Amino acid sequence: MNAPQPITSKTDFQTDEDWWRGAVIYQIYRRSFQDSNGDGVGDLAGIVQRLPYVASLGVDAIWISPFFTSPMADFGYDVSDYCAVDPMFGTLADFDAVVETAHDLGLKVMIDLVFSHSSDQHPWFKESRADTENDKADWYVWADAKSDGTPPNNWLSIFGGSAWHWDARRCQYYLHNFLASQPDLNLHTMAVQDALLDIARFWLERGVDGFRLDTINFYFADKLLRDNPALPLELRNDRIAPAVNPYNHQLHTRSKNQPETLGFLRRLRAAMNPYNAAALGEIGDAHRGLEILGEYTSGDELMQMCYAFEMLTGGRPTAKYISDVFVKIEEVAADGWACWAFSNHDVNRHTSRWELSEPAKRMFTTLLMCLRGSVCIYQGEELGLEEADLDFDDLQDPYGIEFWPEFKGRDGCRTPMVWTGSNQNGGFSDAAHTWLPVPSEHLQHAVAKLEAEPDALIHHYRYAIALRHAYPALALGDQSKMTVEGNVLSFTRTLGNEKMFCAFNLSDEPAQAKLPDGNWMPAGENVNSAIAGAAGLVNLDPWQPCFAVMNNNLKGVSDG
C-alpha cells in the first residue's frame, strides 16, 4: 500500500520567525567546495555555481564556514576583519551573490561568526597589546605573570600547552583557548560586546538569515582567573580533544561555561529578532554539553538552537546510547532545541568513524531526519565520502601537525568535494595543486557519477529529507520516550492530528518491532520502510526502518 499523502505541511505549523525549527542545514566548508578561479582554494563564486545542486537535495538552509579577512592560521577561524571578505574567497559583491542566489532557490543563509577570539593581526589586538592604557587595553584577556614568571593559572589550550602566551610589549600574558595567534576577546568589557553586536547587524543588513556561533561556551572566562580543577582519570574522554591532549586532564569550569554568557546571548538575540534571524551555537564541552545546550536555548530570549558533541564523536551509536542521550535531553534541555549532526569540519567523517556499511549509511541518514531537533549535514556525506588518509607532508591543520601521528587532525574531513570523476581534482579546481589533495578513492563517489545511479546514496539523502518535509511531525512534533528492544530503537512523533511511528533496526541481524495499538498506514516507501503484518508485527531486515502514520484527518483512521 502506498503511503497516504500528507494532510498538512510544515509551514502550516510554522511562522517565518521559526523557519529554523526542524530545518535541514547543509554545511559548506568553503575552502573545499568549489574553486572558481583556479587557485586551488574554494571561494564564494564557486558556492554560487553549486547552489542549485545544494537546493536539489531538498535542504532548507546553508551554513558557510568563515570567509572573512584572515591570516588563515586556523583557516578563517582567526579573523582580522569581521566585515570584509578575504580576497582568497572573493568580494562582498560575491557574498551578496551567494545570498541572492540562495534566496532565489529557497535557501536560508547562515554564516559562521567567531566571537570568542580574533586573530592577533586584528587591529583591535594590535592596539590592545601596545600598552596597558590605550582605549582597547581591556578588549582581550590580559594578566600579570605569577611572581615566578609562570602563567597566571593552569588553564590549557585545546591546541596544546598552556592557554597563556607571554607578550613582550605589555609584559603580560594573554589568554588563547586555541592557537597563540587567536587571542581571546574579553566580553566582560561592554564595548567588546557592542562591537560584536555591530558585526552581527552588518551581516544581517546584507541579508543573512542567521549565524553559526563558533565555540559559543568560550565567550567568557572566569573574571578572577581561578584554576581549573583536575579531572579524575576515569572521567576523561576524547569528545572534545584527542586522548593524547592534556586538555582532557582538566574540568574546564573556569576557562569557559561562565554564567555571564547568558546576558550576552540575550543581547545578541534582541539584535537578531528584527531580522527573523536564527543562531546555531557550537558547544564544546566533554561533560556538560547537553546541560549547556539546555541553558542556552531555553525560552525565547536566548539562542534558537545549539549542538553538542554526543553524536559527533566516539563509536557507532547503539539503540541504547541514542535513547540515553534523549533521556538526558529530556532531563536537562526539555525546553531547549538541539541540532543534530553526525559529521562536520571538526571530526572524522562518520562513514569512517563508525565503519558503516552501505545499508548502515542509509539507516543513520534516515534516523537523523527523524529525531526531534534541527539537522546539519556536512558537504560530501551525501556522497558517502570516507575520511581521507593524508600524508604528514600534505597536512595543513595546525592541530594535526601538533599531535601527529596519534591524532592526524581535521584535514581528513576537509578535502575537496568531488563533482566529476574526470580529472585528478574531481571537478573542484583547475589548479595543478589544490590546498588539500583530492583522494583518488573519492573520485568514484563524484556527484555526476552518483546522480546517474538510481540506487546511489545521494538519492537516499533526498528521500530521507523529503520524508522529513512531507510529515510535519518529523520536523516539528513532540517525540515520545524512546523504546529499546535489543538493537531496535523506536518512538513516535506527534504534531496536531498527525502521529508517526518510527522504528530502526541498528544492526546486521534481522529483528522485529511492533506497532502501537491503533489504525496505522504505511509510510516511508522510498526509504525502504518495512510494512507491518498481522497483529502489527514488523519484520525488519538488517539496517531497515519502519514508518507508519496515523492522522485523524484521514477517513477511517483513529487513535484506536
The catalytic residue positions are: 214, 282
Please give the DSSP secondary-structure letter assigned to residue 530. Answer: B
Residue 34's contacts (CB-CB under 8 Å, 6 or more residues apart) are 42, 43, 46, 47, 49, 50, 417, 419, 428, 429
Residue 224's contacts (CB-CB under 8 Å, 6 or more residues apart) are none
Are the beta carbons of 304 and 20 closer than 8 angstroms?
yes
The CB density around residue 4, as the number of other CB atoms within 10 Å, is 16
127: helix, coil or strand?
helix
Are the beta carbons of 187 and 106 closer than 8 angstroms?
no
Alpha helical stretches, state H, 33-155: 44-56, 92-104, 123-128
99: helix, coil or strand?
helix
Task: Report the distance separating Cα 176 and Cα 218, nearest Å.
Answer: 10
Burial class (CB in 10 A: 0-12, 13-18, 19+), 151: middle
Is the bond preceding 183 in cis, omega lying within 30 degrees of 0?
A: no
Residue with cell 573519492: 442
Cell numbers standing for residue 323: 535513547
